[in-house]
Amino acid sequence: MNKYEAMFIVKPDLSEEERKNLFGQINDVVVKNNGKVIESSVWPEKRKLFFPIKKYREGVYYLLNFSLAPLIVKEIIHTYKLNENILRVLITKVE
């Protein structure tokens, strides 16, 4: 299993409870695919985006460090892109 780091930009207009549920769903996708969540954190404030994404000019950033089998990464990226509350996701391999 390789180590990865994922950065999510989430809609800024979600309530606190909706955000917690979304972050739980993000973590669950890794766990359900036999991965292990190492660390997760939310950046403390909304950040202004350089350009609009789906008509949003700011977003909430969520950072996730996890380990997972390399072949499953494409599958979880597809799963994350289906979630309408996630504006962008970037997953990189950590050396």
pLDDT tens profile 65-85 = 999 999 999 999 999 999 999
Task: Encode burial over 29-68: b for 16+ CB neighbours within 10 A, e otherwise.
Answer: bbeebebebeebeeeeeeeeeeeeeeeeeebbbbebebeb
- 20-37 residue pLDDT tens: 999 999 999 999 999 999
Domain residue ranges of the chain, discontinuous segments joined by +: 16-60+68-94
Bridge partners of 76, per DSSP, are none
For the entire predicted model, the pTM comes to 0.88
